């Protein structure tokens, strides 16, 4: 397994990406090589500061850095020597099996789309995020790649999300729900209504209808489909709410000696809950639908999260999700043509 890492991407670069590399070298023996893409002097300085050294590491120079103020397209066109562009080039050229970046999501999506292209019959890639609930984990797709989508794109999201849920989460016949503001058929905006019509008649998708906010955390379907604008709001709001609730609980526990004692007794349970809801555990999100593997990590990802993003790159490669998506789309087209 060979991974290209955008060392300059993220709110805490290069410290946390390199911290993730250090942890990965200790815990992920399946990685044969990590290409450290970025400004060589900066990378070398951080390696020395963290005491990182391994024959598995190779620095690939990239002298430009994408700023958060850059648009995704401009970042690729104007900054051809950026770390994200050079990292994706390594996958394009067959030197790396996957790229991992915690930097500008738009730039990562655009660079991957332009350089790697999409799989056959997939018009746009979509970010898949594994989300927690009281009962089971589920796939949110699209979690931020395409803020403006057409109904046809959401149908493709459903196909890709179903393939991911089937082969990664182990769901035999994944249930697919469409995110809306109510479960009734007449609810939703134009995009929701048009998408629902298509999903009801799309072979190969176990569509259960609309889902709304409270469904996501109690009894969610295996896959929740939406446009990237809605999905990114769901993702960020849920993560922020989880952090706020943990802070509130900690504050209440520390409010008195009695609750502090109870808090110590319940500490193992709190740790288990925190592990279930922490975005750091997943580390990153695969950008599905590409002719290659791109893992999008959170901008504020910790070193531990970056290690897990590298692990997700390994897992996505090992699970051969792209051939599974191609097979699902081909089967759908075949059934549709014969119906």
Question: Do the domain assignments include residue 116?
Answer: yes
Question: How would you write the pLDDT of the chain (339 residues) with one tens digit per residue?
Answer: 999 999 999 999 999 999 999 999 999 999 999 999 999 999 999 999 999 999 999 999 999 888 877 887 877 888 889 999 999 999 999 999 999 999 999 999 999 999 999 999 999 999 999 999 999 999 999 999 999 999 999 999 999 999 999 998 899 999 999 999 988 888 899 999 999 999 998 888 999 999 999 899 989 999 999 999 999 999 999 989 988 988 999 999 999 999 999 989 988 998 888 888 888 888 899 999 999 999 999 989 999 999 999 999 999 999 999 999 998 888 877 776 666
Q: Are residues 7 and 91 in the same domain?
A: yes
pLDDT at res. 338: 66
Question: Do the domain assignments include residue 215?
Answer: yes
- Close Cβ partners of 278 (under 8 Å, ≥ 6 residues apart): 242
Q: Are residues 140 and 257 in the same domain?
A: yes
| Distance between CA atoms of residues 45 and 54, nearest Å | 15
Q: Are residues 66 and 139 in the same domain?
A: no
Which residues are bridge partners to 175 per DSSP?
206
What domain range includes position 234? 127-279
Percentage of the chain exceeding pLDDT 90: 77
pLDDT at res. 281: 85
Domain's final residue, options 226, 251, 279: 279
Q: Are residues 296 and 274 in the same domain?
A: no
Structural domains in the chain (count): 2
Question: Do the domain assignments include residue 226?
Answer: yes
Token pair for residue 157? Answer: 């999201």
Question: Do the domain assignments include residue 331?
Answer: no
How far from the centroid of its chain's Cα atoms is residue 183's Cα?
26
- Close Cβ partners of 107 (under 8 Å, ≥ 6 residues apart): 66, 70, 72, 75, 76, 82, 84
Map the chain to HEC letters: CEEEEECCCCCCCCHHHHHHHHHHHHHCCCCCEEEEEECHHHHHHHHHHHCCCCCCEEEEECCECCCCCCCHHHHHHHCCCEHHHHHHHHHHCCCCCEEEECCCHHHHHHHHHHHHCECCCCCCCEEEEEECCCCCCEEEECCCCCCCCCHHHHHHHHHHHHHHHHHCCCCCCCEEEEECCCCCCCCCCHHHHHHHHHHHCCCCCEEEEEECHHHHCCCCCCEEECCHHHHHHHHHHHHHHHHHHHHHHHHHHCCCHHHHHHHHHCHHHHHHHHHHHCHHHHCEEEEECECCCEEEECCCCCHHHHHHHHHHHHHHHHCCHHHHHHHHHHHHHHHHHHC
Let me know the angle formed at the C-alpha of 318 by 297 and 135, rounded to the nearest 5 degrees. 65
| Distance between CA atoms of residues 158 and 241, nearest Å | 26
Question: Do the domain assignments include residue 166?
Answer: yes
Assess contact for 14 and 46: CB atoms under 8 A.
yes
pLDDT at res. 337: 64
Domain's final residue, options 224, 252, 279: 279
Q: Are residues 69 and 14 in the same domain?
A: yes
Question: Do the domain assignments include residue 62?
Answer: yes
pLDDT at res. 68: 79
Q: Are residues 1 and 74 in the same domain?
A: yes
| Distance between CA atoms of residues 2 and 277, nearest Å | 29
Q: Are residues 177 and 262 in the same domain?
A: yes
Q: Are residues 242 and 312 in the same domain?
A: no
Question: Do the domain assignments include residue 1?
Answer: yes
Q: Are residues 109 and 248 in the same domain?
A: no
Q: Are residues 175 and 146 in the same domain?
A: yes
Q: Are residues 131 and 275 in the same domain?
A: yes
Using one digit for the tens of pLDDT, what is the confidence trace for 48-100? 999 999 999 999 999 988 887 788 787 788 888 999 999 999 999 999 999 99
| Distance between CA atoms of residues 91 and 7, nearest Å | 16
Question: Do the domain assignments include residue 329?
Answer: no
| Distance between CA atoms of residues 297 and 283, nearest Å | 6
240-to-102, 130, 246 alpha-carbon distances in Å: 18, 16, 10
CATH number at residue 189: 3.40.718.10
Q: Are residues 245 and 210 in the same domain?
A: yes
Domain's final residue, options 258, 279, 300: 279
């Amino acid at each position: 397994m060979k991974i290209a890492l955008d060392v300059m991407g993220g709110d805490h670069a290069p410290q946390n990406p390199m911290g993730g590399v250090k942890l990965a070298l200790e815990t992920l023996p399946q990685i044969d090589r990590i290409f450290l893409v970025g400004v060589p002097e900066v990378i070398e300085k951080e390696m020395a500061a963290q005491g990182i050294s391994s024959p598995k590491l190779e620095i690939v120079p990239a002298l430009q850095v994408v700023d958060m103020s850059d648009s995704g397209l401009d970042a690729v066109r104007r900054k051809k020597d950026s770390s994200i562009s050079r990292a994706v080039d390594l996958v394009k050229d067959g030197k790396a099996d996957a790229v991992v970046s915690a930097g500008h999501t738009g730039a990562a999506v655009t660079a991957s789309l332009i350089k790697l292209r999409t799989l056959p019959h997939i018009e746009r890639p979509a970010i898949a995020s594994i989300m927690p609930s009281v009962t089971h984990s589920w796939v949110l797709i699209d979690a931020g790649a395409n803020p403006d989508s057409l109904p046809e794109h959401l149908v493709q999201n459903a196909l890709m999300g179903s393939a991911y849920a089937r082969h990664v989460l182990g769901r035999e016949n994944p249930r697919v729900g469409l995110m809306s503001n109510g479960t009734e058929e007449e609810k939703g905006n134009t995009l929701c209504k048009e998408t629902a019509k298509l999903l009801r008649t799309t072979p190969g998708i176990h569509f259960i209808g609309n889902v709304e906010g409270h469904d996501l955390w109690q009894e969610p379907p295996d896959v929740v489909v939406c446009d990237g604008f809605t999905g990114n709001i769901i993702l960020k709001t849920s993560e922020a709410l989880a952090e706020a609730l943990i802070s509130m609980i900690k504050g209440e526990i520390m409010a008195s000696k009695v609750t502090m004692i109870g808090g110590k007794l319940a500490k193992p349970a709190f740790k288990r809950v925190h592990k279930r809801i922490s975005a750091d555990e997943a580390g990153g999100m695969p950008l599905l639908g590409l002719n290659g593997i791109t893992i999008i990590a959170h901008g504020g990802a910790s070193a531990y999260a970056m290690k897990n993003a590298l692990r997700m790159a390994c897992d996505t490669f090992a699970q051969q999700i792209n051939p599974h998506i191609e097979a699902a789309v081909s089967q759908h087209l075949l059934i549709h043509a014969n119906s």
